[in-house]
Structure 1
Amino acid sequence: MKIVEGFRLRNILGQATIVGEGIAQVDFNKLVTLNSSAAFLWQSVEGKEFEVSDLVDLLVNKYNITQELAETDAKEIVQRWVKVGIVK
């Protein structure tokens, strides 16, 4: 999967926020905020193809959590991203 073209992570008033930029995202009308771990994942995979397993590895290495917890968290994050249309 990959982040859809035209979405960028921005810091808006201290909050990590995904914004749609450019003509392709003119109809995007959602406000997507990310917690620190989701923002870390976004920055780590921006511009790259990735799988849930890549996110799991990133979470395990960054936060020293179990594989199982990282897998649960990564799947939830990806499901949210797909649902709002910022990842395909």
Structure 2
Amino acid sequence: MQVKNGFMLREIAGQPVVVPLGARVVEFNGIMTLSESGAVLWRRLEKDASVEDMVQALLALYDVDRETALQDVEAFVESMKSNRLID
């Protein structure tokens, strides 16, 4: 999975947000606020990460069990797909 062209992660007032650029502004009017872990996952997606890559990233950074990390990644991916931010 990979982030579609035309979306970037930025920090606004200390908060990670996804913003559309160029023609994507018409498709996605607004911004999407991410949590700290959401920003970690987004950065992985920028590098064409798999679900397993993202799970491993959460396990390395947070005190969380594998099942919880997997559920969080799956929910994040579903949200990104439903908002048409990833391929």
Spell out, residue by residue over 1:36-72, the C-alpha distance to the aligned partner (whole angstroms, 9 max, x if none): 00011212331x2222111111111111321101001
Q: Which amino acid aligns with 1:73?
A: D
Query: In the alignment, does 2:36 pair up with 1:36?
Result: yes
Runs of 4+ in 1 over 4 A off after TM superposition: none
Paired residue for 2:12? 12
How many angstroms does 1:12 deviate by? 1.5
Counterpart of 1:16 in 2: which secondary structure?
Answer: strand
Aligned-residue identity in percent: 35
Alignment of 1:66-77 (within 5 A): 66-77=65-76
Counterpart of 1:26 in 2: which secondary structure?
Answer: helix
Structure 1 gaps, min length 5: none
Structure 2 gaps, min length 5: none
Q: How many residues align?
A: 86
How many angstroms does 1:26 deviate by? 3.0
Q: Which amino acid aligns with 1:75?
A: E
Counterpart of 2:9 in 1: which secondary structure?
Answer: strand
Paired residue for 2:56? 57
How many angstroms does 1:3 deviate by? 0.4
Whole-angstrom CA distance in 1 between matches of 2:21 and 2:3: 13
What is the TM-score with the length of structure 1 in the denominator? 0.87
What is the TM-score with the length of structure 2 in the denominator? 0.88
2:9–2:16: 8 Å Cα contact kept in structure 1?
yes
Whole-angstrom CA distance in 2 between matches of 1:35 and 1:20: 18
